[in-house]
Amino acid sequence: MAKITVRNLTKRYGSATALNNVSLEIESGEFLVLLGPSGCGKTTLLRCLAGLETPDEGEIIIGDHVVFSSKNNTMVPPGKRNLGMVFQSYALWPHMSVRDNVKFGLDVLKTPKGVADERLDQVLDDVGLAHLDGRYPSELSGGQQQRVALARLLATQPPVFLMDEPLSNLDARLRMDMRVELKRFQSDTGATTVYVTHDQTEAMTMSTRVVVMKDGEIQQISPPDQLYRQPENTFVADFIGMPRINLVELNAEDGRATSFSNGDIRVETGWAPGVQKVIIGARPEDITLSTDSGAPGEDYQISAVLPNGPETIIQLTKGQTVMIARVGHDTEFATGQTVKLSFKRQSLNIYNAKTGALVTPPDMGVAKAG
């Protein structure tokens, strides 16, 4: 299949910089998700890969071909980049039936009729549209049109898939089914996939790696689990995860700066992060609560109990400090109760409060509350 290399890519619109010196390597067969807040440059990056935008600076290599280079004035047009795209707008032919729309791509590639018919039946079945193959786009819902666009991409089996929120118009249940189908299809074909989404669950469940972007720059590129467990800065820590991570700023208490506090809570790192001011990051599930007054930790008051299906979200307060914990659904915690709060030591991340950067890998941390 095809590896993609992006080097020092910059794209400006007037005085606004949509991509700022972005570099990344996408391995052949990888499912890479671009994630980040609105306006961070995800779609611009995808459109640059597709050849729909001309970057101002940098280089893009797909497989063995330099498809863009500002130095050499190379700009290979979209149709010659050997990739398949699905964008939010479906761009279906209104005068063609579902089947003909999907077949169109195969005809362009001059796929032999027998192979084309077999693939058509398979992809229409995969996207759940076999029974609607004679309808015209105007006779379909938005979600169905989106699936036709997907089927058209999948049928041509390109070595590179570029997708921009291809499931955004589907209802929750269909979206889940299509995620499974897309992932299966991608792993069967081995196509290198770059996928833009707003949806964290989609990013975490489908990707081999996630790229988190902000203001046109890459913040972190990691496999989903590492992104969640070891965010490299406070922006990524805060952006990933729902409920949000607990981020609390603390000041060094002792000369060695191994003990930090904000007056309400105290954390002993046991090692010196090398700064006087830190932000600790604790995921809600990395907090342990106990009604046993002899348990380790500090006293917090429960200010809200929010049952949420298989889990319960608990809000706790101590002075000015508010923490969110996630516990099982069968909890007996109640609003107003005083409980002991402690951190699961290995999972506490420590950030430099000035730069927001992770100070050390969490497995070195032996932080504890109290």
**By the criterion CB under 6 A, which residues form the site for ligand ATP?**
13, 16, 18, 36, 38-44, 198
Mode of pairing for the β-strands spanning 277-282 and 246-252? antiparallel
18 vs 26 by CB, closer to ligand ATP: 18
Query: Which C-beta is closer to ligand ATP: that of 35 or that of 151?
Result: 35
Report in angstroms how near the CB of residue 218 gets to ligand ATP at its nearest: 12
Answer yes or no: are the C-beta atoms of 361 and 230 closer than 8 Å. Answer: yes
CA distance 348 to 366: 8
CB of 198 to ligand ATP, least distance (A): 6
- Residue 58 or 137: the one with the smaller Cβ distance to ligand ATP is 58
Distances (CA, A) of 278 to 89, 231, 260, 349, 353: 45, 15, 8, 10, 5
Question: CA-CA distance, 229 to 16, in Å (whole number)?
Answer: 33
Q: Least distance in Å: CB of 85 to ligand ATP?
A: 14
Cα angle at 213 between 212 and 214, to 5 degrees?
135
DSSP-based three-state secondary structure for 310: coil
- Do residues 84 and 158 touch, judged by C-beta distance below 8 A? yes
Distance CA(149)–CA(91), nearest Å, equals: 8
Q: Which is nearer to ligand ATP, 68 or 260 (CB)?
A: 68
Min CB(19)–ligand ATP separation in Å: 8
* Alpha-carbon distance values, 225 to 3, 112, 142, 229, 329 (Å): 23, 43, 33, 6, 23
Q: Which of 271, 253, 242 is nearest to 345 (CA)?
A: 271
Contacts of 329 (CB under 8 A, 6+ apart): 307, 309, 310, 311, 312
Minimum Å gap between C-beta 58 and ligand ATP is 15
Alpha-carbon gap, residue 54 to 232, rounded angstroms: 31
Minimum CB distance to ligand ATP smaller for 88 or for 251: 88
E runs forming strands in 145-236: 160-164, 192-196, 209-214, 217-222
Q: CB 223 → ligand ATP: shortest distance, Å?
A: 21
Q: How far is the CB of 197 from ligand ATP (least distance, A)?
A: 9
Q: Which is nearer to ligand ATP, 36 or 281 (CB)?
A: 36
- In terms of CB distance, is 201 or 308 closer to ligand ATP? 201
| Nearest CB to ligand ATP, comparing residues 18 and 92 | 18
User: What minimum distance in Å lies between the beta carbon of 253 and ligand ATP?
Assistant: 41
